[in-house]
Homo-oligomer: A and B are copies of this chain.
Amino acid sequence: MTVTGPKGFRAAGVAAGIKPTGALDLALVVNDGPDQAAAGVFTRNVIKAAPVLWSQEVLRHRRLRAVVLNSGGANAATGPGGFQDTHATAEQVAKVLDTGAIEVAVCSTGLIGERLPMPAVLSGVDTAAGALAATPEAGLAAATAIMTTDSKPKQTFKTHADGWGIGGMAKGAGMLAPNLATMLSVVTTDASLEPDALDAALRAATRVTFDRLDVDGGTSTNDTVLLLASGASGVSPALDDFTELLTAVCLDLVYQLRADSEGATKDVDIVVRGAASEQDAINVGRTVAEDNLVKTALFGSDPNWGRIAMALGRAQAEIDPESLSITINGVTLFANGTTAADRSAADLSGRAIEIVIDLGVGVSTATIYSTDLSHGYVEENSAYSS
């Protein structure tokens, strides 16, 4: 189950002809209410795609009737013409749903710098409107239609004992980075919450999930996470309960994104403890996550703590070499300023790798979700124009 898991939502995924391959490439998610509360978080890249600029604007009203998403083109760096294309897409959705364009968010993903084939997009909207359904199959079609280099759709659905639930879909396989990763995600719930509460929950959940996925340091022009609430369950959960389940939903999607990221052969959790501040912990985790020498060592299943020490030593954080320790898959290899165990004691042959860096200078912590750097990453990204 996915975005159609919660009550009050319909979805569709169709082949609009945007991708030359004829694959599914346009998705529509509709909130049938009774509520239409919405919240969103967007890329912090200063180069923002037209659909991001549009969706940020319509989200100011904190209501969304629908989200239309396309793969096959990012509509980024396309100038005023590109923005008009996004606007026209939203208008077309509004027309078929008998609502206003201001209630329609737009997401795009694919190659930067190319205009979208608008006749295909607009007729695709009509086709998608005719295919809308509240079924798992319709949700799967939507999750499939937003894929680019993803090898499989990402979707999740979790329910609360009080009779409401949260569903979600996501795409993203490269350009996965600090501040949202390259990624589109639509999350739906049939809980009833005010827009302010939705916004607070979404920011709290994404800052410890999507914001901490760091595969290659790239921050896309199109990153978007949208949260739509229908209220169809009739239940108004406590904000803490809602935020907890929403965080679990986002983390599930993050794990799926990481597992399917381009060329990844390792799932790497970088846990930073004992930091002077949470920002220090994040800075250390990201610096290690983005270091190519660390990443290639992990690809080679080499517990090379020296490279980890080298990498974190340039992070913007309070670091004391004497109080630092580095533990890989349960074996502390570096402590008290020198080797603590032979590196051969740490077994990195499996897919899951946990690196625990204890800075020993404070009490703050953060976990960054990352991968290794493999031949597959180089192959996919040197051959594919994205």
Contact = CB atoms under 8 A, between A and B. Distances in A.
B296 A218 contact: no
A100 interface: no
A339 B306 contact: no
A377 interface: yes
B217 A292 contact: yes
A99 B379 CA distance: 55
A144 interface: no
Given A218-B311, A219-B314, A300-B382, A292 B112 contact: no
A306 B338 contact: no
Q: Is the interface of A mostly helix, strand, loop or mixed?
A: loop
Given A77-B306, A111-B306, A338 B82 contact: yes
Interface in A49-103: 74, 76-82
A300 B178 CA distance: 25
A113 B302 contact: no
Interface residues of A, number: 66
A77 B338 contact: yes
A178 B336 CA distance: 27
Interface stretch (A39-47, A197-205, A246-254): A39-47
A75 to B, nearest CB: 11
A385 to B, nearest CB: 6
Contacts of A305: 113
A186 interface: no
Looking at A114, A218, A338, A378, which has the most chain B CB atoms within 10 Å of its CB? A378
Contacts of A309: 47, 76-77, 112-113, 221
Given A219-B314, A310-B47, A314-B219, A78 B300 contact: no
Interface of A: 44-48, 74, 76-82, 111-114, 174-175, 177-179, 216-221, 290-293, 296-297, 299-300, 302, 304-307, 309-314, 319, 321, 334, 336-339, 343, 373-375, 377-379, 381-383, 385-386
Q: State the 10 A-B residue pairs at the shortest beta-carbon distance, nearest first.
A: A112-B306, A79-B338, A300-B382, A47-B313, A296-B381, A45-B313, A219-B314, A296-B382, A299-B382, A113-B306
